[in-house]
Amino acid sequence: MPTALTTKARLLRVLDGEVLAEPPIWLMRQAGRYLPEYRELRAKAGSFLDLCYNPELATEVTLQPIRRFGFDAAILFSDILVIPHALGRDVRFVEGEGPRLDPIERAEIFGLSNEGMLDRLAPVLETVGAVRKALDPDKALIGFCGAPWTVATYMIAGRGTPDQAPSRLLAARDPEALDRLIDALVDASIVYLVAQLKAGADAVQIFDSWSRVLSPAAFERWSAGPIARIVAGVRAVVPDARVIGFPKGADRGLSDFVEKTQVNGVGVDWTVPLDVVRREIAGRAAIQGNLDPMTLVAGGAELDAAIDGILAAMDGSRLIFNLGHGIVPQTPIAHVERLIRRVRG
């Protein structure tokens, strides 16, 4: 029997406090449209949500980038909007446009309930179990959910918007309603993440893709605070739960965010000076990021230089190599291969 030390996935070692000379690497949205094998399977699956709720196909899609590139971690193939869907909201993905929801009304916010939520999410949890079973022990499986603020912005506006004006307006006009919506999403996220960890996820990531549109006070109230409650709520049930927070664009508030939420890792985008963040975080959390996805699309000498810059800025510190946001569909596969070769020396 191999010992725990030799089989513990490299990503988990860094989340648990180790510094590795060669950092673990995975990419946000690593299962997706830039892969021909994804496009082929996606065409057979029907709608995007049908794919998310089909354990056999979702397992296959989750494993595709691991087979092709040998990343250090798989991330569950699903979407942050399965939570509103499981809470009974209408969620559709329109081809070429993105998600559409029925904008939630005040009375509906106060009527939200978790009842039956996990039944609707059962196929996703089945996928978690199947992926963990199929994955080598030296690879980690990351589960995830959207942060309450980011999920709320889609529930309120009914779609993506450039600056989340409808949700910021609700925050200013009717903070009580937004508090209630966020609270409902905190409760749902705790239940969902605990279920993922019990089903076999080794760590979970909380995506707050829209935290950068919030003022410092609003960030505290609707992003960092709720994420801290999720982490505490999850650890009340799974004490050693590993959590990565990704408060995208929250650069000025990162150190406080780590202190308040007690995450094991924090994702940062490419607008953040890594040397400054590294000093501020001072080893209290692993830092995950932060290559610009467009640099990966472009490739060439610029890509090499950007990779080297990240490695140099984080030398001797807890780095999980990643992009600063999701990989985009036009990314050439050869550039991903080049990235992995360079990070692995």
Q: Which of 64, 209, 264, 331 binds ligand CP3 (CB under 6 A)?
A: 209
Judged by beta carbon, residue 174 or residue 270, the one nearer ligand CP3 is 270
Q: How far apart are CA 27 and CA 30, in angstroms?
A: 5
Does 299 engage in binding with ligand CP3 (CB under 6 A)?
no
Active site residue 34: no
Judged by beta carbon, residue 158 or residue 278, the one nearer ligand CP3 is 158
Q: How far apart are CA 72 and CA 74, in angstroms?
A: 7
Indicate the Cα dihedral angle 90, 74, 247, 11, nearest 10°.
160
**Stretch near ligand CP3 under the rule CB under 6 A, chosen from 23-31, 232-240, 254-262, 290-298:** 23-31
Q: Which of 41, 49, 81, 170 binds ligand CP3 (CB under 6 A)?
A: 81
* DSSP SS3 for 46: coil
Burial class (CB in 10 A: 0-12, 13-18, 19+), 176: exposed
Binding mask 34-53 for ligand CP3 (x = CB under 6 A): --------x-----x-----
Does 29 engage in binding with ligand CP3 (CB under 6 A)?
yes
Active site residue 120: no
Those residues with Cβ within 8 angstroms of residue 15's Cβ, 6 or more apart along the chain or in another chain: 203, 242, 244, 264, 265, 286, 320
Q: How far apart are CA 127 and CA 190, in angstroms?
A: 19
- 245 close to 257: Cβ distance less than 8 angstroms: yes
Judged by beta carbon, residue 160 or residue 166, the one nearer ligand CP3 is 160
> DSSP characters for 173-223?
H-HHHHHHHHHHHHHHHHHHHHHHHHHT-SEEEEEETTGGGS-HHHHIIII
User: Please, what is the minimum distance in Å from the beta carbon of residue 142 to ligand CP3?
Assistant: 8
User: Please, what is the minimum distance in Å from the beta carbon of residue 31 to ligand CP3?
Assistant: 4
Q: How far apart are CA 294 and CA 327, in angstroms?
A: 9
How many Cβ atoms sit within 10 Å of the Cβ of residue 112?
20
Does 32 engage in binding with ligand CP3 (CB under 6 A)?
yes
Which residue's structure tokens are 């409902």? 184
Does 144 engage in binding with ligand CP3 (CB under 6 A)?
yes
**Stretch near ligand CP3 under the rule CB under 6 A, chosen from 17-25, 78-86, 103-111, 218-226:** 78-86
Q: Count residues contacting ligand CP3 (CB under 6 A)?
A: 23
User: Please, what is the minimum distance in Å from the beta carbon of residue 305 to ligand CP3?
Assistant: 25
Short-list 32, 26, 231, CA closest to 140: 26
Judged by beta carbon, residue 233 or residue 326, the one nearer ligand CP3 is 326
**Stretch near ligand CP3 under the rule CB under 6 A, chosen from 77-85, 183-191, 193-201, 295-303:** 77-85
> DSSP characters for 213-243?
GS-HHHHIIIIIHHHHHHHHHHHHHSTT--E
Judged by beta carbon, residue 212 or residue 278, the one nearer ligand CP3 is 212
Active site residue 168: no
Active site residue 10: no
Binding mask 94-113 for ligand CP3 (x = CB under 6 A): ----xx--------------
Which residues of this chain interact with ligand CP3, rule CB under 6 A? 28-33, 42, 48, 75, 77, 79-81, 93, 98-99, 144, 146, 150, 160, 207, 209, 326
